[in-house]
Structure 1
Amino acid sequence: MFLSKLVITNALMLILFLSMYESKGASNSSGSLSVVNGANINPPLAHQKVNVSVYYDSLCQSCAQFIIRDLKNVFDSNLISIMNLRLVPWAKAYINKTNSSISCQNGPDECELNSLESCALNLWHKVDIQYELINCFEFLAIKGTIKKWKEYCLDPLGLPKELFLNCFNMGNGTQLGKTYIDQIAHLSPSPSFVPWVVVNNQPVGKDYANFAHYVCKAYRGVAVPQVCKSPLK
């Protein structure tokens, strides 16, 4: 009797093992990762964006021209659809160790504008809003009318003034600046000039005006914008 029970038990365990093995095999065959000859094969990503960081100073002429002209093309050509764009002011500023104040390459006016732009970047996280506001500030800076930023920049975009002014007047922009300066200090290599454009952690150097070429080249997704389909330089 005991032997009969043992045989029945072993048979049930074998059936259970076979059903588990078949279930596992079916799960593997329907998963997103397949194995062929011992190698993992991942399906192509539908949308793998390229990380682009632009380190700049707000009263730098070459930076302003780059932001107004070259970055505008990013939105006009829909290159932004394959980019994670990050704007970082305070590129050439430094913190005084004696009193923890910040000194900017182009003086106190630049520190003030850097603070304004820091508030803009941290209050609104949609890149198109960030760009429109920074673009407006830089355009006024080139014209020498930056003091009119409230009426020319905030009002046309319909952005709440109180929220923005609170950030600026309470010194939050300057505190954010110290965070940016610390991040920039840890870049390798460190920026030797501005604007300093980095594509997927690789600086493009003095060829920054042609950064779209590097973005298209680095892109590995399938949703290729038309601007990347023309012959790359």
Structure 2
Amino acid sequence: MVSILEQMASSRLLFTCTTVLLFLPLLFLSPSNAFSSYPNDDGRLKVSAVGSQKVNLSLYYDALCPSCATFIVKNLAGVFDKDLITIINLRLVPWGNSFVNKSNNAIVCQHGSEECVLNTLEACAIDVLHDVDKHYALIYCFEFLVIEGRHKDWQTCFDSLGLPKKPVLDCYISGNGTKLIQKYADETAHLNPPHTFAPWVVVNNQPLQEDYQNFVTHVCKAYKGNGAPEVCKSVGAKIN
């Protein structure tokens, strides 16, 4: 059973999941923690001067992929809990193993049409909820429901989190979500080397492949700036 508590103390979201024994605080971060990078035509990232010290962490995934949902809920959530988000440009790319049927130009998702809907909704959330903490919180909630087999209840996440539903639905209904998904498809197709499974995690253009669950160590190793979060100090021996 999953219960999602409303925003607490106006600055923190608390999620409780008794089935996975997860206790996750999500801080509402300032706009300075929003993306300071954007993809090149080849899918790689350009980084602005402001965020040049940050590490680019990209997740390529499918919305209904069980291992993807587990990674988002149980592993990736740690970047907020441990302040790792302060040194990361976090990008979520909901396309994964989907493909375009060339005969009719239709998008085909690995786990069926409902996954296509969720992929597009999550792409819209990323686009209209610019702060990473907000769109991640919504995607986290969606993926929580995926783990529980209740992904059709995705609309409940907006009220639970106090996030606006209309901008996301307008994006989806207008067809803009499909355009966003097509951009993610192109980015995923230009990964070098190509992804071979999902979730596919990339740190500063380097795919972690089977070691993706150890992404914290890779992020800390890649970070060259000052004031590394405490969690990087704890993995320092492993890095060395």
User: Normalized against structure 2, the TM-score is what?
Assistant: 0.75
1:103 and 2:128 correspond: no
Indicate which of 172, 177, 193 corresponds to 2:176.
172
Residue 145 of structure 1 is matched in structure 2 by 150
Indicate which of 122, 127, 135 corresponds to 1:130.
135
Residue 154 of structure 1 is matched in structure 2 by 158
Indicate which of 204, 209, 212 corresponds to 2:208.
204
Residue 60 of structure 2 is matched in structure 1 by 55
1:219 and 2:209 correspond: no
SS of equivalent residue, structure 1 residue 183: helix
- Contact 2:217–2:235 at 8 Å: present in 1 too? no
- Post-superposition CA distance 1:36-65 (Å, at most 9, x none): xxxxxxxxx997110110000001111000
- Post-superposition CA distance 1:122-163 (Å, at most 9, x none): 111111111101100001111121222112x11122222222
What is the root-mean-square deviation in Å for CA atoms of aligned residues? 1.6
Residue correspondences, number: 188
CA distance in 1, matches of 2:192, 2:130: 26
- Contact 2:171–2:177 at 8 Å: present in 1 too? yes
User: Normalized against structure 1, the TM-score is what?
Assistant: 0.77
Higher helix share: 1
Going from structure 1 to structure 2, the CA distance change for 1:46 and 1:95 (only over 3 Å counts) comes to closer
**Matching residue's letter, 1:116:** L
Larger Rg belongs to: 1
CA distance in 2, matches of 1:132, 1:46: 22
SS of equivalent residue, structure 1 residue 141: helix
- Among all aligned residue pairs of Structure 1 and Structure 2, give the percentage whose two residues are the same amino acid: 56
Structure 1 residue runs of 5 or longer lacking an equivalent are: 1-44
Indicate which of 194, 212, 217 corresponds to 2:198.
194
**Matching residue's letter, 1:179:** K
**Matching residue's letter, 1:208:** Y
CA distance in 2, matches of 1:56, 1:46: 24
CA distance in 1, matches of 2:105, 2:52: 43
More RCO (CA 8 Å, sep 6+): 1
- Post-superposition CA distance 1:182-226 (Å, at most 9, x none): 111111101101110000000011110100000000000011100
Higher strand share: 2
Higher mean C-alpha deviation, range 57-66 or range 153-162: 153-162
SS of equivalent residue, structure 1 residue 229: helix
